[in-house]
Amino acid sequence: MLPEATSIWSWWWSTSNKADEISRNVLTTIIPIFIMLWFIFFVKKQDRKKPPLPPGPRGLPLVGYLPFLGSNLHHSFKELASLYGPIFKLRLGAKDCIVITSPSLVKEVVRDQDVVFANRVSIVAANTLLFGSMDIAFSNYGVEWRKMRKIFATEMMSTSSLDASYHLRKKHVKKMINDTYKKAGQIINVGDLTFLTLIATVMSMVWGDTLIRGESSVIDSEYRAVVDEQLELLGVPNISDFFPLLARFDLQGVERRMKIISRRNEEILDKAINHHNIGENVQCRDFLGSLLQLTKSEDPTRSLTLAQVKAMLTDAVIGGTDTTVAMIEWAMAEILQHPEIQKKVQEELTEVVGLDNTVEEAHLPSLKYLNAVAKETLRMHPPVPLLVPHCPSEPSTIGGYSIPKGARVFLNVYTMHRDPQLWEDPLLFQPERFLIETDATKKMDYLGNDFRYLPFGSGRRMCPGVPLAERTSMLVLASLLHAFQWKLPNETVDVDLLERFGIVMKKSKPLFAVPSPRLSNLELYS
């Protein structure tokens, strides 16, 4: 066929007839048009084979759907899921966002295509604070991330490391109990109480007792204020993140403020690092000492830069405090809202621990009901309700829908945790649902093995600090409820359970409560 066509074409151009020349010119025009139309048809036919984008609401030019979202993003996404289904798309500024609200579709993201979705979305505040996102939480997936994650798991989150640092957690919990005892009968801000305890605990685990006592207290005090402002800036919806072309103008001043707080953060870390360097011949068993040793390593699979060390330390302090504080405050709020639950928890504590003893970490596995309270709290009030967004490194397909490369993919665990198709009476606080021994409830741990229940995520990008969070939250919560009877302030009938969205979902209003001692031996409070 091809030789035949070639000979005809050659004949066409070899003729000299004037009429043929006119025809030749016409065909020379028509044939390219025909080829172009055929090409367009072929491309469209190919496009029809490509999966469609997920359904979703239409927004406005330039700004997309941003003007229609409320301040509580997880609530807005819950409403949209009821309209558009378990996966939908919306445009926020210049960014495509995909929201997933189905356990089976979540599994496709975090297990079936885990590597494709393992990258993170770049945000200005994190890049500024964490040396260009050189940490574990916000850096993209790759060799360096895997190395840092492994080091974090072995040096700080291993069972042996956590066991070795128990005396530090115990020391700060005892101080919390003593401080609370001195204020017995007075109104206490529960969130502030637990924040001060947890940040002191995590910092002592990070740089241990190697600092001079006076210097340590100064650093601790400074760092509490720094962490508070870091968390605020990381949670601010930033125009620069939705409109990259406007990032240079820093319209909200987030980058400018974060640069200031980042410098303060680095100065404090430098003080701790300098103390370690002065005493470098002394074996340092804390996390900072272990990381500094790795800056001298010549093994590329273990070596770290100083910037990576500082970013990982910042991760450890931020990740080890605010999410746990939020969980404890929500748990106490639900317990105060349901006095019968406080009674059951305290009966269990009396039986397991005794009123002539204080809570130890060895008691925690035996506190089945309190553990159920903690799980139910994380179901109804997941600390990070949309998790940290995933970002696909290549175009992919989820649930039969096309997911563009670079989109922001939110896993809406808040909505899944309250889905009546997945949970019986999902809006009721019922710890007993986690006490029923079934194959399903056995899988509902904190490791993301049941995709209906993902308070800490799942897959390779799940929260790496789960072992520490589980120990500290349970120890603090058990100690507060064992040592004290708690009640709401005078004339307060109901607890305010409204939420405030941010990088961590907190109560809209702080929780205030009044403690009274319940231990038989008052010396245990000293």
Written as six digits, the tokens of 474 are: 């349970």
Dihedral, CA atoms, 195, 197, 203, 208, nearest 10 degrees? 180
User: Per the structure block, which two tokens stand in for 10?
Assistant: 């050659």
- Does the pLDDT value for residue 77 go beyond 60? yes
Average pLDDT on 407-429 reads 97
Q: In the chain, what are the domain boundaries?
A: 66-525
- Provide the CATH topology of domain 66-525: Cytochrome p450 (1.10.630)
* 3-state SS record for 86-136: CEEEEEECCEEEEEECCHHHHHHHHHHCCCCCCEECCCHHHHHHCCCCCCC
- Cα–Cα distances (Å) from 370 to 104, 320, 377, 379, in that order, read 30, 21, 10, 14
Mean of all residue pLDDT scores within the chain: 88
Say yes or no to pLDDT of 170 above 90: yes
Using 50, 70 and 90 to split pLDDT, how confident is the model at 502?
confident
pLDDT, tens only, 104-158: 999 999 999 999 999 999 999 999 999 888 999 999 999 999 999 999 999 889 9
In what helix (H) or strand (E) does residue 314 lie, and over which residues does it extend?
helix 306-319
pLDDT given at position 47? 52
CA distance 518 to 509: 27
Cα(230)–Cα(249) distance, rounded to whole angstroms? 21
Confidence of residue 220 (pLDDT cuts 50, 70, 90): low
